[in-house]
Structure 1
Amino acid sequence: MTAPEPPKPASVWEVIPIARTAWRICDSALTENDAARLVGYVDRNETGTYDVLWLRSPCPTRSRYRSLNELLADLDDAAAAAVVPRADRPRKIPHFPPRI
């Protein structure tokens, strides 16, 4: 049995094989020297599913997938949900005078 080829990501995620059934996921938008570049480790278990160890945020809430493409799509969704527009001003905190 040979390991499947890693999918070609349509996003910034880079899937790098580190063993026959293991990969690491990196953020190609960051430099090689940046520790935040490493997103997680993926292992394919005996049942054919992929187990993920997430190492940084944003990350999906799941850690088991049926395919690498499903994993990368979920990671794209988590990264998109983490982007918060800063167009609005923060809510004003009400201040009350001290009690006497």
Structure 2
Amino acid sequence: MTAPEPPRPASVWEVIPIARTAWRICDGALTETDASRLVAYVDKNETGTYDVLWLRSPCPTRSRYRSLDELLADLDAADAARTSSRADRPRQIPHFPPRPLP
């Protein structure tokens, strides 16, 4: 039995099979010699869901997915949020005077 072909990402993420039910996700924008190229390890468990071990940012908050397409979409969204928010100034925290004691 051979490993199913992973979906082709529409972004820079490369999904590389490393076992029958395991994949590596790499950042295709980085060179092969760059250690930060490796983004995550994905493993399909016996229930059919995909467990993810995130190794670097961008890192979605979830670590379990129903499909590789869903995982890659979440990774794209996390990457887009990271790049757009880093250029912006941080949000101002409102400061209020202390409340008087009763």
TM-score bracket, normalised by the shorter chain, equals 0.7 to 0.9
Output aligned runs, 1:1-100, within 5 Å: 2-84=2-84
Give the letter for the 1:44 counterpart: K
1:84 positional shift: 3.2
Compute the displacement of 1:59 (Å).
0.8
In 2, Cα distance between the equivalents of 1:15 and 1:57?
16
Using the size of structure 1 for normalisation, the TM-score is 0.82
- Normalised to the residue count of structure 2, the TM-score between the two structures is 0.81
Q: What is the alpha-carbon distance in structure 2 between the residues aligned to residue 88 and residue 40 of structure 1?
A: 27
Separation in 2 of the partners of 1:51 and 1:86? 28
User: Displacement, 1:76?
Assistant: 0.1
2-structure distance, mates of 1:44, 1:75: 17
Count of matched residue positions in the alignment of Structure 1 and Structure 2:
91
Contiguous gaps of at least 5 residues in structure 1: 92-100
Cα distance in 2 for partners of 1:45, 1:88 equals 39
Report deviation, 1:58: 1.2
Q: Distance in 2 between matches of 1:4 and 1:73?
A: 19
Query: Unaligned regions of 5+ residues in structure 2, if any?
Result: 92-102
Take 2:71 and 2:90, find their aligned partners in 1: how far apart are those partners?
A: 34
